[in-house]
Amino acid sequence: MKKLKYGIGIWTVGFTADRFIPNGYRPAGTFVKQIEDVARIPGVEAVQIHFPDDFEGYTPKEVKDIVNSNGLELKTVNMNLFGNPVFKFGAFTNADEKIRRLAIDSCLRGIETIRGIGVSHLEMWPGQDGFDYNFQSDYNHLWDGTVTALKEITGSAPDIKFSYEYKLKEPRMYCLVSNAGRALALANEVGASNFGIALDYGHSLLSRENPAEALDFLTRSNKLFNIHFNDAYGEFDDDMISGTVSVWKTLEFIYHLKNSDYDGYVNLDMFPFREDQVEAAALAVRMGQTFEALAETLDMETIRQYQRVNNLPAIFEELRKHVLVR
């Protein structure tokens, strides 16, 4: 069973705004300060940042040097296709071809930027791609626009891996790619070996999925390209501290992840609105490591025997003995 590697999205140590306090619960730190904060989190080895936002005011080499000088790796850059009001009616799905082209060209610029500093993974979450009302959209147009955009983007850079992060809703009432099944259908239609899916634990809960099953579903097709780790109650994208809410689901998820072929980072994607961000992230890493240790104690051969005869009480007796009894 492999040991997991932990990374973090830089927004976890950002100003953490919501729609009630849009200016954030704390002052926005500089990029350098945020990277320094990430470097103070024990167990975090890598950071994810946004293009173009986190590159503003710096050359790409300066960005990479700031990250590396703090003892961190920069393996993945996320495209900001959601935070600019110009994309309020969609990025890849926009009915205005000029705005749709703007989204594609932004990705192409992102590719050239990350390639120049040795980063080989670009993640996309087009959060404005979707709809809010019935009769608002031509659904085939939404899908056609997304597929053709992704074919162009992935085809332009066979040396770069691309991942698409799915989500049920927010900021749109209906996000276009809303669950693991639709995400895999998208990957199959794009048909590029360098295109896969980013699985966000909280998004999976929001989509009424079991995250461990979603993980196995995506790895069956070798399409799991990135992991975002957090916790949630399943009614919203809560982005809470990992392992604090859905304990059994988290344990099952970690067990399956440790036994999967996924070899990337487990990236914290949290919004500690009121908590100390560094302490919250450090706790999330310790939670993950504790769940790893628990997963290694499970007698899964015995559990599988009980699974084959549908003996649920016996399964949870095994779990009780290994997890709850001390």
pLDDT in tens, the chain (326 residues): 899 999 999 999 999 999 999 999 999 899 999 999 999 999 999 999 999 999 999 999 999 999 999 999 999 999 999 999 999 999 999 999 999 999 999 999 999 999 999 999 999 999 999 999 999 999 999 999 999 999 999 999 999 999 999 999 999 999 999 999 999 999 999 999 999 999 999 999 999 999 999 999 999 999 999 999 999 999 999 999 999 999 999 999 999 999 999 999 999 999 999 999 999 999 999 999 999 999 999 999 999 999 999 999 999 999 999 899 97
| Residue 24 Rama label (left phi>0; alpha psi -120 to 50; beta) | left
Distance CA 63, CA 166 (A): 27
Give SS3 for 160: coil
The span from the CA of 208 to the CA of 230, in Å, is 16
Q: How far apart are CA 210 and CA 207, in angstroms?
A: 9
